[in-house]
Structure formats: C-alpha cells, structure tokens
C-alpha cells in the first residue's frame, strides 16, 4: 500500500495547474495561487508526508466490506500561516473513502506555505490519496 501511496502522491505534484493565480477577492493579499514560485510542502518533506498518511489513514470498515478501492483526489488551500482550509474532494470514490481522505488531510499538521516573490501566499494544492486493499 505504501508503494501505491508514494506513486499516487508523486502524481499529485504533476497535476498542479499552470496558472498565475485565482483572484478570490479584490485584495492582493487574498489571491489563491495555483502555481506559486515555490510550492507549499509538508514539514520535513514528502517522505514525512507519506509516513503521516501511513500512520493516520484508517480504511473504513464499510469500504473494506464492499471492497471499495481507488484514488480520492483532494484539493485544499494552504494558507499563509501553513494551515489548511477549503479541504474538498475533487474526484470521488465512495462516501466513506472520500470522508476518510478529507479527515486525514484536515487533521495534518501545518504545512510550509508556498511563496511568491519571497513572501508566503495562499495556494491551492491537489493530493491524490490511494486506497487499496492489496492482493
């Protein structure tokens, strides 16, 4: 399962859109960048993120009983202070797997925010979370 998670998460970084920003309000300080100069990252790097997921994802018993599998794609905004907001499912698998993916991302520690011109900015980030029952 770790190999699947690693592969799925590596793909997430390739899925980020190539755009300047999404202006959510008229204030420059509230822009949400889709592709900042420096992308947001999990504290201590991607390997620590994989470890966090492995320790904290709990396969829902309902999904296990129905043998539901797949990758839930979660989108979120990493705020200037590293907190996460607007955690939502962009690609659904099943209600219980979707809920677990949102739960584990929402519960993650603060991230290192993305930066633009050397300043922290709000940025959108996409993460696929793979759920697999294995073989």
Summarize pLDDT for 38-58 with one digit per residue, the tens.
999 999 999 999 999 999 999
Contact 63, 45 (CB under 8 A): no
Give the DSSP letter of residue 41: B
pLDDT in tens, 20-39: 444 444 455 689 999 999 99
For residue 64, CA distances in Å to 67, 96, 104, 132 come to 5, 10, 17, 9
Could you give the CA distance from residue 103 to residue 11 in angstroms, rounded to a whole number? 21
Show me where the domains of the chain are located: 2-131
Q: Which CATH number fits domain 2-131: 3.30.2420.10, 3.40.50.2000, 3.50.30.10, 1.20.1250.20?
A: 3.30.2420.10
* Strands 119-131 and 32-33, bridge-based pairing: parallel
- pTM exceeds cut of 0.95: no
* Strands 84-91 and 70-78, bridge-based pairing: antiparallel
């Amino acid at each position: 399962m770790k190999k699947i998670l690693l592969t799925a998460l590596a793909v997430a970084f390739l899925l980020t859109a190539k755009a300047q920003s999404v202006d959510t309000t008229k204030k420059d300080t509230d822009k949400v960048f889709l592709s900042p100069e420096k992308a947001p990252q999990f504290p201590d790097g991607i390997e620590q993120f994989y470890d966090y997921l492995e320790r904290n994802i709990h396969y829902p018993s309902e999904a296990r009983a129905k043998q539901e599998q797949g990758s839930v794609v979660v989108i979120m905004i990493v705020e200037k202070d590293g907190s996460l907001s607007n955690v939502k499912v962009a690609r659904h698998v099943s209600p219980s797997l979707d809920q677990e993916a949102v739960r584990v991302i929402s519960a993650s520690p603060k991230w290192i925010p993305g930066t633009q011109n050397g300043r922290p900015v709000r940025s959108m980030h996409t993460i696929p979370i793979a759920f697999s029952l294995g073989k």
